Structure 1
Amino acid sequence: MADYKETRALRFKYRSLLIGVVASGAVLAIVIGLAVGLTIQRCNESKEEVVRVGLLFPTDDESAEAMKEAAMLAVDDIRAHRNKVPSAADIQVHSGDYDGSPDGALQAFRRLYNRQGVRLFVGPDTSSHAVHVTEWAAANAPDAVFISPRATSERLANATNTIRLSMSDQALALALYLKLQSDKVSVVIPVHIEDSYSTDIVQRIRDLADGMMDDITVGASISYAPGTITNKEEARRLTEQLRDALRDNPDAVVLLVSYSEAKYILEAASGDSTLLKRMWYTGDSLALREDILSSDDAKQSAQTVSLYGLAYAGEGLHSKRRMRKMQELASRLKRSPPVFAPLAYDAVNLFYDTCQITRTTDAQMVLAHLTREAEWQNGLSGRLAIDSKRGRAFGDYLHSFVAPQIPDTSKVTVAMTGSWILDGLSQVSHMDDESRQGGGRRRREVSSSNMMSMSAVMSPAMSSASIFNKSDVMALKALAGNNCRNPKFSITATDPATYMQVEHDFTEDTFPEMFIVSTAYGYSLQMNCDKPEGPVVLDVLCPPSTNPRDHMACVQTLTYPVTDQGARRRLLVSTGFIGAIGECIGESAGCAVCFGTRVLFESSILDSAAACLEPCVSGIGGACGNAIGEGIGAAVDATIICTELFVQGHLDAQTYLADAAFGRLLAAESPHVMDGYHTLASPIVWLMQRSETATSIVKTFALPWAQHMSYLQDMADEGDELGAVVMEIGMALSGAVGRVTQATRAVMGLGDVILIPVLIAMVTVVACLAMRKNEMK
């Protein structure tokens, strides 16, 4: 019994020990699990770090409202990016609206800084507000960082907490002075608000005039305190002083450095010949202000004096992406955005991108990275180079003026929203031009804007424009034949300064003798008329051009009814073809009738065109006949895949123009690839012209490819994954075929021997990729 009791006691002892060990292990496991869970949670929290940005813009100014909306557009784009890349940080925006005074800006900043914990700020917008806020923050909020889109004051050069996305007052004053000099101005009367920006601009121009000794005299300033001019009556005191100054100086011009009160000053000057018979200049893009253009009196005064201004625009003013984003902003605002709105868009992106790169939202680390990385390719305003004083190092100034009224609009019409580019752009560079070479970011110091030379500031390029003479447009009408009734004309263009779409509609009777249209972003002309067989539409589409010497390859199409097919088709007409018809139309009435009937309404387009025009060409003879023959050849040679899709109506005009631009670039840089592509594409187009099934198959891979080419040409926000794959395969195959074709043609003239097997291989590979992508969906 004793042994049994001892054994039982030992069992209870070991069982208790085992239970204790298990319980201890369970507790330890729970503790470890909690620790690991907390660690993972903290890691996840760190990954979910939010970039918090404060916006400091006044509420009493339309341009400031547009700047804020541009910043919010950037926020929306960042969030759209985050939806595709979930690991990217989120962004949170806090609005610091204020009443439009420097003290109001400071109070808005302090509220966001103390209550919301914001350390990264976009704004303040104007120099006087930015100086007031940043100087206070330097002493009382040393961990705050500001990116000001538009402030230019030299006093900000000493602020260690501020990045300026505009150039300094010195650059603007120099550009203005050189403009006055080139216009042979002898006397300047400054009219300006009493703030740090305006007084500094005027003083710098005065110093330049004193230093250059070139017969430009800057007279005594007529100034006013902020907030003292809020209507036309309050502005009359100022205009009376200006009238007296101009009477004493018969050759003087006016330099108006102002803000929203410029509207009231121009309204007060309305009808006063002493004030309005002089040229008025400005340094702050007043020529583009909506409030001036929307006031009848102010606009009339601005037109009379041809109000001329400069506005800093960064780089890449004619960027297609910039145009698209500003048009999106215009739809939000229901009016044209200010030319400097892209700077606010870039400020938000610059903060966010820096936080992503540094993997922190610590303001001082962000500032250190911004100042260390001297050059960025960022946002909408092109390369963003920060100089040693934390300001924009170089870029372009947009020259603009309010166009004078045209007395007889039946003779001349200009496609614009109220402003026009006078001298194009002034490109501001440096004595040390090494910083402008190449792209991407560099770890080097960009020289200060103080190093600018006078010759480096003025390199104006005349704006690009096309002129439509009425006789030329009526010659295009002849393409539809003699029985074209009730013709109507529509011209669509983009204003080169405001990015707004401008449309003009005319009849044959109301079309002006001359029509001027900007070519900076491309334009289109459409003519439609009625015929017994149905309506006929002529489209002329022209791509963007940023240089007046560019040879723009416009695309012309004729859309007409095809009665035996119950559908409408388009005939692509080459530029040479159009020119030849326009020159020859008066020499052979028979040719005109032939072109106007059989070519337009036969189903076999190119064959009918050649058959119809053959007797016309032989009848005309000489250079004119040869020109038509070359035009037909150009039209036939143009029928590659994208062209055929466009002709059949499966590809929109803008994408087609972008693809055509990509093709021209490819032909110049890699002619063997283009040669191989034409070899491969010719039989495909032949099949597409004869089979709807063939067209449907080709669309499967050709439309994504076209979309991706449009993206590479910066005409679309996003590329196409399948299009990118098709492009890689197509470029490789085309390059190989092109080299082999060139070699075999040179040696044996047998370049087409390999066509069919390579074509079959290409179609098979692309079809497999398309099917695989559809299965994945």
Structure 2
Amino acid sequence: MKKIWMLLISLFLISGVFFAGCTEKTGSGENANTTTITASTKETVIKIGVLTDLSGPLSSDGNDIEKTLKIGKDDINKYFEEKGLPYKIKLYVEDTQSNPSICLQKVQSLNAMGINLIIGPTSSAEVKNIKDYINSNHMVIISPSSTAPPQMIGFTTPEQKKYIFRFVPTDNFQAKAIAGEIKDMGIKNVVVIYRGDAWGMGLEKATVDDLKKEGVNIIGEIEYPSTPEPSDWSPYIQTLENKIAGKDPKTTAVLAIGFDEIATLLSQIDKDSPLLKVKWFGSDGIVDSEKVISEAKNKAEKVGLYSTEFYGVSDEAKKLAEEYEKRGYGKKPRQYALIAYDALWVGAISYAEMLNKTGGKYDANLLSKLIKENTVKYTKGEFGIKPVTGDIYLNEWNDRASGDYGIHAVTEEGWKLVGIWDYKTGKINWLNS
């Protein structure tokens, strides 16, 4: 890879031409995915959009993603400078509130600005709503946190998803982790309450299937609306209480598949409710939720709220955490923020290589191809850096192909990692407190 970068530098020096400016869509049909970058200064500014939730039900993750990408931007620009490459990335952050309609509006706005590469969005429902626009306008996105299986967000073939990457495993993996922890804790009966969007329905279906395979009895499946979420949870609370009535609380549990709204649900449960005498399980949609701690910590601590999320660790992540804390952002980035950091690196390097290969033109098909190739090279350390979330290998759907899952619970200290589900063995390593 060192030879490739030396060749890039040589080409620029020989030609004496450096590319800069923004991109603009031109032509139609086969030419719609190619744009020309105007030569004007000595530095090419690569515009990258960021679609994240800064004020909605996934804002705990979304704000963390924005902070971590600021570090990523600085690291990448320093890398380009040290390598003598005439590129600089600039981020354009948009708040989608995890709302599919707002997300589409933001994508259209970014496209109008000539932005072709996007990190995000946060949720699968958003990906589902923007996929047709992304494909028809030959844009490329890399989501750090959309986990619904491809079929649940409207894809039937990998070719339909060639511009849409996800650097996180799908819920087919998470479902096995959830089923594994529930079985491991001796639970026999489960009632599921889930968010009625593409993500919630996809994870619910996959998890229920895996729970049944593990011999766990499903005593209820309750769907609630996602746009908007309920403000009064009393009907759902009553239904949940009815479902667990007469069951042994030691072997009965509630599985809540949702976002920050689960905090409101818990806060509205009466302190004497039988729902607070059984264990609760969650998912990646609620892990590290600040709202759970601020609105329902005591109740969440009582029921555990054992929640799963992709888990990747590395020495690189520790270094990033040091910079994160140094900037006053907190102790360390959340998992999806770490994935977004990796996505930005691969996206930026691939975009720069695309511009070099095309003489400064945007080519969506080439960018898509390079992202897939460079993900492997990035994993192997061929650029002199390695992923902060461990090895990244993509399947034919451009989704991460594997991964362990951390199990987080609410304790007296707040959210805490209490176990790790190993995807290779299907077993859980419970951590000492």
What TM-score do the two structures reach when normalised by structure 1?
A: 0.46
Match for residue 304 of structure 1? 302
Q: Secondary structure at the match of 1:151?
A: coil
For 2:367, the aligned partner's letter is V
Match for residue 341 of structure 2? 345
Aligned residues: 376
Shift of 1:86: 4.4
Match for residue 51 of structure 2? 56
Tell me if 1:461 matches 2:429. Answer: yes
Give the counterpart of 1:199 among 198, 201, 204.
201
Q: Secondary structure at the match of 1:457?
A: coil
Determine if contact 1:55/1:93 at 8 Å carries over to the other structure.
Answer: yes
CA gap of 1:383–1:357, structure 2 versus 1, over 3 A, is farther
Give the counterpart of 1:70 among 68, 72, 82.
68
Match for residue 161 of structure 1? 163
Shift of 1:314: 3.1
Match for residue 266 of structure 2? 266
Q: Secondary structure at the match of 2:397?
A: coil
Q: Distance in 2 between matches of 1:170 and 1:283?
A: 13
Shift of 1:230: 5.9
Q: Show CA shifts across 1:633-653 (max 9, x none).
A: xxxxxxxxxxxxxxxxxxxxx
Could you say what the CA RMSD is over the residues aligned between the two structures, in angstroms? 2.6
Tell me if 1:389 matches 2:397. Answer: yes
Shift of 1:97: 2.4
For 1:185, the aligned partner's letter is I
For 2:403, the aligned partner's letter is G
Larger radius of gyration: 1
CA gap of 1:272–1:368, structure 2 versus 1, over 3 A, is same
Determine if contact 1:57/1:124 at 8 Å carries over to the other structure.
Answer: yes
Q: Distance in 2 between matches of 1:318 and 1:262?
A: 33
Shift of 1:177: 0.9
Give the counterpart of 2:134 among 133, 137, 155.
137
Q: Show CA shifts across 1:133-189 (max 9, x none).
A: 113322x21x21110000011125642211111101100001111111222211110
For 2:227, the aligned partner's letter is G
Match for residue 102 of structure 1? 100
Q: Show CA shifts across 1:557-580 (max 9, x none).
A: xxxxxxxxxxxxxxxxxxxxxxxx
Q: Show CA shifts across 1:583-620 (max 9, x none).
A: xxxxxxxxxxxxxxxxxxxxxxxxxxxxxxxxxxxxxx
Match for residue 363 of structure 2? 362
For 1:354, the aligned partner's letter is S
Determine if contact 2:167/2:339 at 8 Å carries over to the other structure.
Answer: yes
CA gap of 1:57–1:131, structure 2 versus 1, over 3 A, is same
CA gap of 1:129–1:43, structure 2 versus 1, over 3 A, is closer
Shift of 1:313: 2.6
Q: Secondary structure at the match of 1:177?
A: helix
Same amino acid, percent of matched pairs: 19
Determine if contact 2:69/2:340 at 8 Å carries over to the other structure.
Answer: yes
CA gap of 1:363–1:308, structure 2 versus 1, over 3 A, is same
Determine if contact 2:53/2:98 at 8 Å carries over to the other structure.
Answer: yes
Where in structure 1 are there 5+ consecutive unaligned residues?
1-38, 406-416, 430-455, 466-515, 517-777
Match for residue 224 of structure 1? 224
Matches within 5 A, 1:406-445: 417-423=413-419, 425-429=420-424
Determine if contact 1:315/1:396 at 8 Å carries over to the other structure.
Answer: no
Q: Distance in 2 between matches of 1:419 and 1:92?
A: 34
Determine if contact 1:315/1:395 at 8 Å carries over to the other structure.
Answer: no
CA gap of 1:318–1:190, structure 2 versus 1, over 3 A, is farther
In proportion to residue count, which structure has more helix?
A: 1
Matches within 5 A, 1:688-703: none
Shift of 1:385: 1.3
CA gap of 1:249–1:228, structure 2 versus 1, over 3 A, is farther
CA gap of 1:335–1:272, structure 2 versus 1, over 3 A, is farther
Q: Distance in 1 between matches of 2:196 and 2:221?
A: 10
Give the counterpart of 1:125 among 111, 114, 122.
122
Q: Secondary structure at the match of 1:238?
A: helix
Q: Distance in 2 between matches of 1:422 and 1:98?
A: 32
Q: Distance in 1 between matches of 2:19 and 2:198?
A: 47
Matches within 5 A, 1:565-644: none
Determine if contact 1:121/1:147 at 8 Å carries over to the other structure.
Answer: yes
Q: Show CA shifts across 1:42-99 (max 9, x none).
A: 6794963222211111332232122122222211222333454443411122223234
Q: Show CA shifts across 1:212-231 (max 9, x none).
A: 3x531123212210134464
Shift of 1:102: 0.5
Q: Secondary structure at the match of 1:428?
A: coil
Give the counterpart of 1:174 among 162, 166, 176.
176
Q: Secondary structure at the match of 1:219?
A: strand
Determine if contact 2:194/2:222 at 8 Å carries over to the other structure.
Answer: yes
Q: Distance in 1 between matches of 2:81 and 2:414?
A: 40
Q: Distance in 2 between matches of 1:311 and 1:58?
A: 18
Match for residue 371 of structure 1? 372
Q: Secondary structure at the match of 1:103?
A: helix
Q: Distance in 1 between matches of 2:314 and 2:85?
A: 31
Shift of 1:352: 1.0
Q: Distance in 1 between matches of 2:54 and 2:230?
A: 15
Determine if contact 1:123/1:146 at 8 Å carries over to the other structure.
Answer: yes
Q: Distance in 2 between matches of 1:43 and 1:149?
A: 29
What TM-score do the two structures reach when normalised by structure 2?
A: 0.79
Q: Show CA shifts across 1:699-726 (max 9, x none).
A: xxxxxxxxxxxxxxxxxxxxxxxxxxxx
Q: Secondary structure at the match of 2:422?
A: strand
